[in-house]
Amino acid sequence: MSGPRDDKGGKKIIPNRVPARELDPRERRLNFEEVNLGYDAGQAVREAGRCLNCRKRPCVAGCPVGVPIPDFIASVSRGDFAGAYRIIRSANALPAVCGRVCPQETQCEGVCTVGRKHEAVAIGRLERFVADWRMKEQGAARTQKSPRKSGAPETPDGAGGRVAVVGSGPAGITCAYDLAQLGHKVTIFEALHEPGGVLFYGIPEFRLPKSIVAREMDNLKDMGVLIKTNAVIGRLLGLGELTEQFDAVFIGTGAGLPRFQGIPGEDLNGVYSANEFLTRTNLMRAYRFPAYDTPIKAGRRVAVIGGGNVAMDAARTAIRLGAESVTLVYRRGEAELPARAEEVRHAKEEGLLFEMCTLPVEITGDDGYVSGLKCLRMSLCEPGPGDLPGRKVPKPISGSEFSIPADTVIVAIGTSANPLLTGSARGLRLRRGYIETDDTCATSLRGVFAGGDIVTGSGLTVSAAMGAGRKAAKAIHEYVVSKKG
């Protein structure tokens, strides 16, 4: 075991976690610049020194894509950043992204041995440091093929196939990355005009700069992956045509169809789905209007319904677009907020108001425009028969009705599967609109595989979608090799 020790009894001394540099909240609430500035080299080496390189390495199992975390951290602690990058990249197609947006506190850092008595090793920040270091160091030079790590054997000569990947989110990117590594010719079809899925159209610039996503896409192209944008499968081509033209198809179309509560007033002017609000701002660059031709009206008093990353992103975007007050309305308590802990902290620092244990029951209007949000207070009760175990259940408190004044309401209560492709794919078995797969990501159609939010629903994380893309790549590889062999 390496790591810090005291000079008397050999007992390890764990210093405090190295804090990351961040933009001042007063400054950042006025712009879209990245909030978290990450570590510099000295900070990264110091933080890496907190890792015990412990025998059981629970952090590796906590990572949905199985990054050999202690190995890359050991390289960082020696100042070997290039070596650290090679190790991370052997398992992760999107290290600069994951270092920024993965919910590490519930994944690798959540199980870190150091975290039992101290703050866990800042694995995400270290991953981000290494990925950013590589981008700066290499300048315009692009990634070369990195070591193979898909758990699948090499492709015998001539057994490489042609694979279509539908959707360029984390699931599609990872699937394409692994298959390209294995020697297959991959074409990604993306409905939007920019690739990246939620990484591009959903997560705002101040959390994940689009230049980083674009750079990761360039890395894919350099590996020989063809990316066709403005290509809506189900319209431009059907799934049947793809299966005729390619040896196998992976569907990673996500779950981008907005959901609403179904309460009165959702048709009023001033009501947005978070999906529309964020897509206008991120993909269409509305925050740079009039330089970009997309107007957006954030309003003066904004209420955001929901408690996940999407709600937090929408609320912090509204703050930056100049709203005087932004209130997050969530039916459970603060402890139950599903958003990443760092985003909640950042949102508070930026002045977001929280109405916890609150259920919206009506959006009120005046002359067709939103004037407020009528709500009920909720109490959190122990789960009863028929409820999911472990999670407290919100129950309305009768007579607790109150109103939040608002001219804009943003609904961020989740999304569902878009039926554009699935609705026109004959024989593709679905469950509640999502694609049914077996453990290998194979669907009911031969040669068609699926993974990510389109299989599991929108509660997924970036790394979980990547994990599904990896699993599918392995199965597709085996399918194509046996088909050709």
Residues forming contacts to ligand SF4 in the complex (CB under 6 A) are 51-54, 57-59, 69-70, 73, 112-114, 121, 123
Binder of residue 112, out of ligand FAD, ligand SF4, none (CB less than 5 to 8 A by kind): ligand SF4
330 binds ligand FAD (CB under 6 A): no
Distances, alpha carbon 313 to alpha carbons 6, 42, 93, 177, 359, in Å: 43, 31, 24, 28, 20
The closest alpha carbon to 94, from 123, 60, 38, 132, belongs to 132
**Among 50-58, 231-239, 354-362, 391-399, the segment contacting ligand FAD (CB under 6 A):** 231-239
- Residues of span 406-435 touching ligand FAD by CB under 6 A: 418, 420-421
CB of residue 298 vs ligand SF4: minimum separation in angstroms?
40
Binding site partner of 287, from ligand FAD, ligand SF4, none, Cβ cut-off 5-8 A by kind = none
Which of 112, 278, 296, 303 binds ligand FAD (CB under 6 A)? It is: 278
CB-CB neighbours of 384 under 10 Å: 8
> Least CB distance from residue 3 to ligand SF4, whole Å?
8
In the shown chain, the binding pattern of residues 288 to 327 toward ligand FAD, with x for contact by CB under 6 A and - for none, equals: ---------------------xx--x--------------
- CB of 35: closest distance to ligand FAD in angstroms? 13
**One of 99, 197, 270, 372 touching ligand FAD (CB under 6 A):** 197
Q: Which residues of 400-425 are buried (b: 16+ CB within 10 A; e: fewer)?
A: eeeebebbbbbbbbbbbbbebbbeeb
The least distance separating ligand SF4 from the CB of residue 115, rounded to whole angstroms, comes to 7
Among ligand SF4, ligand FAD, none, residue 358 binds (CB under 5-8 Å by kind)? none
CA 166 to CA 190: how far, in whole Å?
6
Size of the site for ligand FAD (CB under 6 A): 42
Binder among 50, 89, 134, 340 for ligand FAD (CB under 6 A)? 340
List interacting residues with ligand FAD (CB under 6 A).
101-103, 166-172, 189-192, 197-198, 202-203, 231-234, 252-254, 256, 278, 309-310, 313, 340, 418, 420-421, 452-454, 460-463, 465
